[in-house]
Structure 1
Amino acid sequence: MIEFLVLLNQKVLRTMKKTILLRATLIILLTLYSHLITRETSAQQTRPNVLVILVDDLGYGDLSSYGATDLKSPHIDGLLNRGMKFTSFYANCPVCSPTRAALLTGQYQDMVGIPGVIRTHPENSWGYLKPSAVTLADVFHQAGYQTSIIGKWHLGLESPNTPTERGFDLFRGFLGDMMDDYYLHRRHNVNYMRRNQETVDPQGHATDLFTDWTCEYLKQQSKNESPFFLYLAYNAPHTPIQPPQEWLEKIKQRETGIDPGRAKLVALIEHLDAGIGKVVQTLDETGLSENTLIVFSSDNGGQLSVGANNGALRDGKQSMYEGGLKVPTGVVWKNHIAPHSDTDFMAMSMDIFPTVCEASGLTVPAGLDAVSFLPTLQGKQQKPLRTHWFFRRREGGTRYGGKTIEAVRSGQWKLLQNSPFEPLELYDLKADPLEQKNLAESNRKKFNQLSVLLRAEIQRYGTVPWQKPLTPYSKD
């Protein structure tokens, strides 16, 4: 009997030990799980919001901080002072659609099917966004961000290439290229203003509408636990140069003797500057500026024929000279990027893609042409992003004033063709930053080297179709 009780006691003890061990194991597992969930939630909450502000046709010299003397841009200048200002930042293309395609896909524009400007009429439209192209909105959406675009899209007028079909949760803005009137919001008498897929007809100046919608969105997002990716793409200061009348009168009174055309453009830019000031103020008031990465840039250089100022640079919009490609740019991220810092590090529009992904802790898609410049933003030394830089715009015939032009830059050397009816030109940008001395004949060795590079790149672009397919094809 005693032996039986001893055995029974031992069995009970073993069972109790197993139960205690099992319970302890469960507690440990639950603790680990809770810790992982907490870390994941914490990471989600500490991921930065991302705001990319892209303006349209802003010249390299058309901000006070970039040398303008007849123009006051305190709000954009103040924003750039909060972070790093770039003095050697380049648009992928000297016109609209291609640069936007490059920025949103991290690839050269030809490689995603948009070598030229997308327009209303098919016979004059030069792009069709590649179905398999992954957009910034796709990447951020899949990572749990709220993704939105407010403003100008210009990458497709119909399904499947509308914003809400390319990764954006919300679209409030203009599908098309330019507006024929900033108050009527039409292009060729077609209303391209949308809220998601719905056609809308809001009242007011487009700059004010995009500003107000952005401030409204930011206030909503300040109450949301999920981070956001917002692409704010203003139409201004693109033609028509149509500032509100009170802004124009203010410029005329302040800048006595100013050229009338220049006065209108200055007023349009200062009106835009005030709008961006309201956006920044909303970020501050809602506390979002504490953890929002902000990128500011332009899609190409300023249009000289309407009074733009590209500083001392040669030429402007629609040109492969520096004035068409070099654009004012800055990046702000509180406690991550030193304020009042300037850099001459060279980057271009498409490099924004991997940079904001990396800064947000997101996996950068494979196979991009773009390279992150996050180390530069963090004050670290960084080697050049690439050995060769390519710029291209493809359009056709003289009927619409279109042309195919291209350039390649390698180190200090730049080879360009600014007209299909003129020979290629070679410049040494280190010795001749204003592109005054064409060395095409005197340095045939460098000319031939760059010519071979440019030709090979153009052949690579030829592998991607850029017109709407006759029959639909899948993203695969």
Structure 2
Amino acid sequence: MKPNVIIIYADDLGYGDLSCYGAEDIKTPNIDALAEEGVRFQQAYSTSSVCTPARYGLLTGQYPFSNNQIRILPGNAQHCLISKEQITLPKMFKAAEYNTAVIGKWHLGLGDGAVDWNGYIEHTPNDIGFDYSFIFPGTNDRVPTVFVKNHHVDNLDADDPMTVFYGAEDKCSFIDQIDTYKKDPDKLRITSTHGHSNMIVNGVGRIGYMKGGKAAIWKDEELTDTFLTQAKEFMDSSDQAPFFLYFAAHQPHVPRLANPKFVGATEMGPRGDVIAEFDYTVGEIVAYLKEKNLLEDTIIIISSDNGPVFDDGYNDHAFELAGKHKPAGPFRAGKYSKYEGGVRIPFILSWKGHTAKTISPAIVSQVDLLASFANLINVDVADVDSLNMLNAFMGKDSIGRSEVMFENNDKVVMLRQNQWVFLPRSAQVYEDIPNQRDFGNGPEDQLFNLDFDIKQQDNVAKAYPTIVNSMRQTLAEYGFLKATL
């Protein structure tokens, strides 16, 4: 019998944010239990240090930097980045007669050039392989703050149509009809540090503007329970067919507003509390599988789209309350960055009774899930970047890849070959935020030997010009140096 597959994908969760990866001030017992039963990877990579490209790589088996359109999308993104013709994880599973669903965050665009929020929405996840989809379109800090169920906004009142606008405030035709950060600060529950100062929804400043659709607007504190209910209903509906569930959680992305039962669950404030809530989510899914006698028939993967970030636009004091906690673990930097902390992510694969119980040093990439699962269930795939790493994912191969690539927010492509990681110089230079953001951009190439310098403190590019030139040539041959000087 083919196994069920569930990918539980966190948002901005760092390598060091789980207690099984060394966190001391956050306890994640449900995730830890899966790690003890399965394979916990030490050298697993996302394809990007930001979310949309990482999700593209996971679902398509293609490196996101091979497509210039793949970037962080606005909430009203009016073009699905995954074409209807592409092979995808859900299409691959459907070829083996699986039921497929996506529940949670999407952020890969909808439509084919426009989105009719009040009618039938073209080009949703249902058009790229998912039988069922229940998503919010972008991120929880962007409008529209509604669910899209298959091809329609869920619970939309036809007498209260939606309008979504992204642009300058003085160009918004309905600005006087909505609460905004500028004119209604008394309605805020949390203030913005940057970027989240347009419309107010549920007492929180968001990016973008929307009017109408009041019955369809979700509440931040209810997202987890809503997604869990949807996941259980989908698994119930699968009957005797195997299923693939892509459960895209919203934690610990901003705004971090936990259900009241998790407020104060940690001493680290909202960021710690929503990680505790994410661990609860994992526990609820595992408990359901046990109740239905499905646990031994189900592969569960826990991972994250990219590395962690403290201040990502809201004043929730994540940095100040972190204490000694290091969300990226031993690695340098986090979300948006070129360094390991941006792309070295937690990755746990548990298949009770089938996987080795081990801590694996194998180098694996999320891009490899497509080819690896295709091999497991005997489906042919071609023309993808994904490699068959099934033995590594099952804990039977401690080596994995010898080469892996990933990108940062500016689509600069980094290359790791064995112990060496090469960060090409880049034209775009951002100002670092002390103690919080370390982008890694600059006018010089960087080379690190991870066997001796896991924290990437000693740039040895000038000492090893032959290695730099070889790795630069490799990237050039792939065509991935266009974003550098």
Give the TM-score band, short-chain normalised.
Answer: 0.7 to 0.9
**Corresponding position: 1:147 with 2:147:** no
- Name the SS of the counterpart of 2:299 in structure 1: strand
Shift of 1:390: 1.5
The whole-number CA distance in structure 1 between the counterparts of 2:62 and 2:103 is: 22
- Quote the residue 1:166 is aligned against: 128
CA 1:79–1:373 in 2, change beyond 3 Å: closer, same or farther? same
The whole-number CA distance in structure 1 between the counterparts of 2:47 and 2:344 is: 9
Shift of 1:250: 3.6
- Quote the residue 1:87 is aligned against: 42
Supply the AA of the counterpart residue of 1:334: K
- Quote the residue 1:446 is aligned against: 467
| Match for residue 271 of structure 2 among 265, 271, 275 | 265
Contact 1:98 1:114 in 2 (8 A): no
**Corresponding position: 1:281 with 2:287:** yes
- Quote the residue 1:207 is aligned against: 224
The whole-number CA distance in structure 1 between the counterparts of 2:80 and 2:68 is: 6
**Corresponding position: 1:198 with 2:156:** no
- Quote the residue 2:307 is aligned against: 301
**Corresponding position: 1:51 with 2:57:** no
Shift of 1:245: 3.8
The whole-number CA distance in structure 1 between the counterparts of 2:136 and 2:331 is: 31
- Name the SS of the counterpart of 1:446 in structure 2: helix
Contact 1:219 1:282 in 2 (8 A): no
Extract unaligned runs of 5+ from structure 2: 113-121, 155-215, 312-317, 320-325, 430-441
- Name the SS of the counterpart of 1:144 in structure 2: coil
- Name the SS of the counterpart of 1:317 in structure 2: coil
| Match for residue 349 of structure 1 among 358, 366, 374 | 366
CA 1:392–1:126 in 2, change beyond 3 Å: closer, same or farther? farther
- Name the SS of the counterpart of 1:165 in structure 2: helix
The whole-number CA distance in structure 2 between the counterparts of 1:131 and 1:290 is: 33
Give 1:39-118 correspondences, 5 Å limit: 46-112=1-67, 114-118=69-73
Shift of 1:363: 1.5
Shift of 1:383: 5.3
TM-score, normalization by structure 1: 0.76
Supply the AA of the counterpart residue of 2:331: L
The whole-number CA distance in structure 2 between the counterparts of 1:166 and 1:197 is: 13
Supply the AA of the counterpart residue of 2:386: A
| Match for residue 345 of structure 2 among 327, 332, 345 | 327
Extract unaligned runs of 5+ from structure 1: 1-45, 181-186, 256-261, 395-402, 463-476
Shift of 1:460: 9.0
Shift of 1:229: 0.9
- Name the SS of the counterpart of 2:455 in structure 1: coil
The whole-number CA distance in structure 1 between the counterparts of 2:387 and 2:279 is: 29
Contact 2:363 2:399 in 1 (8 A): no
CA 1:459–1:265 in 2, change beyond 3 Å: closer, same or farther? closer
The whole-number CA distance in structure 2 between the counterparts of 1:83 and 1:161 is: 36
The whole-number CA distance in structure 1 between the counterparts of 2:372 and 2:135 is: 25
Shift of 1:358: 2.0
- Name the SS of the counterpart of 2:463 in structure 1: coil
Aligned residues: 385
| Match for residue 230 of structure 1 among 245, 249, 253 | 245
Contact 1:115 1:127 in 2 (8 A): no
- Quote the residue 1:259 is aligned against: none
Query: What is the root-mean-square deviation in Å for CA atoms of aligned residues?
Result: 2.3
The whole-number CA distance in structure 2 between the counterparts of 1:131 and 1:170 is: 16
The whole-number CA distance in structure 1 between the counterparts of 2:80 and 2:110 is: 11
Shift of 1:168: 0.6
- Name the SS of the counterpart of 1:205 in structure 2: helix
CA 1:89–1:103 in 2, change beyond 3 Å: closer, same or farther? same
Cα deviations by residue, 1:68-98 (Å, 9 ceiling, x for unpaired)? 1111101111122221111111111001111
| Match for residue 384 of structure 2 among 360, 368, 375 | 368
Contact 1:115 1:126 in 2 (8 A): no
The whole-number CA distance in structure 2 between the counterparts of 1:452 and 1:114 is: 24
Cα deviations by residue, 1:300-346 (Å, 9 ceiling, x for unpaired)? 1111434461112100011110110111111111221123x110101
Contact 2:39 2:395 in 1 (8 A): no
Cα deviations by residue, 1:220-254 (Å, 9 ceiling, x for unpaired)? 33xx1111111111011111122234422343xxx
CA 1:431–1:161 in 2, change beyond 3 Å: closer, same or farther? farther
Give 1:229-248 correspondences, 5 Å limit: 229-248=244-263
Shift of 1:216: 2.5
- Quote the residue 1:414 is aligned against: 421
CA 1:352–1:433 in 2, change beyond 3 Å: closer, same or farther? same
- Name the SS of the counterpart of 1:236 in structure 2: coil
Contact 2:80 2:110 in 1 (8 A): no
Shift of 1:355: 1.8
Shift of 1:136: 0.9
Contact 2:64 2:70 in 1 (8 A): yes
The whole-number CA distance in structure 2 between the counterparts of 1:416 and 1:126 is: 31
- Quote the residue 2:264 is aligned against: 249
**Corresponding position: 1:405 with 2:359:** no
The whole-number CA distance in structure 1 between the counterparts of 2:411 and 2:235 is: 40
Contact 2:364 2:392 in 1 (8 A): no
Q: Of Structure 1 and Structure 2, which has the larger fraction of its residues in helix?
A: 1
| Match for residue 313 of structure 1 among 318, 331, 334 | 331
Supply the AA of the counterpart residue of 2:242: P
| Match for residue 179 of structure 1 among 122, 126, 140 | 140
Shift of 1:378: 4.2
CA 1:377–1:459 in 2, change beyond 3 Å: closer, same or farther? closer
CA 1:409–1:219 in 2, change beyond 3 Å: closer, same or farther? same
Shift of 1:459: 4.8
The whole-number CA distance in structure 1 between the counterparts of 2:353 and 2:282 is: 21
- Name the SS of the counterpart of 2:263 in structure 1: helix
Shift of 1:279: 0.8
CA 1:151–1:220 in 2, change beyond 3 Å: closer, same or farther? same
Shift of 1:60: 0.6
Contact 1:319 1:418 in 2 (8 A): no
Contact 2:96 2:379 in 1 (8 A): no
Supply the AA of the counterpart residue of 1:427: F
TM-score, normalization by structure 2: 0.74
- Name the SS of the counterpart of 2:461 in structure 1: coil
CA 1:197–1:391 in 2, change beyond 3 Å: closer, same or farther? same
The whole-number CA distance in structure 2 between the counterparts of 1:413 and 1:86 is: 19
The whole-number CA distance in structure 1 between the counterparts of 2:124 and 2:482 is: 23
- Quote the residue 2:455 is aligned against: 434
The whole-number CA distance in structure 2 between the counterparts of 1:449 and 1:273 is: 43
Shift of 1:379: 4.4
